[in-house]
Amino acid sequence: MSVVDGTSMRAYLAQPQESQARAGLLVCQEAFGVNAHIRDVTDRLAREGYLAVAPELFHRTAAGFEGAYNDFGAVVPHVRALRDPDLEADVRASYSWLRENLGKSDVPIACVGFCMGGRVSFLTNSILPVKAAVSFYGGGIAPNPMGPGMLERAGNLHAPQLLFWGGLDKHIGPEQTQAVADALRKAGKPFVNVDFSDADHGFFCDARPTYNPAAAQQAWALTNTFLECHLGV
Is position 205 annotated as part of the catalytic site?
A: no
Is residue 201 part of the annotated active site? The answer reads yes
Dist. CA 25–CA 45, nearest whole Å: 8
Active-site option among 78, 169, 205, 230: 169
Out of 28, 111, 115, 205, pick the active-site residue. Answer: 115
CA-wise closest residue to 41 among 62, 21, 27: 27
143-181 burial string, b = 16+ CB within 10 Å, else e?
A: ebeeeebbbebbeebbbbbbbbbbeebebbeeebbebbb
| Identity at 102, one-letter amino acid code | L
Indicate if 230 belongs to the active site: no
Query: Pick the catalytic residue: 37, 59, 201, 230?
Result: 201
CA distance 222 to 194: 10
What stretch of H or E contains 230? helix 213-231
Alpha carbons 84 and 43: distance in angstroms, whole number:
27
Which residues participate in catalysis according to the annotation?
A: 115, 169, 201
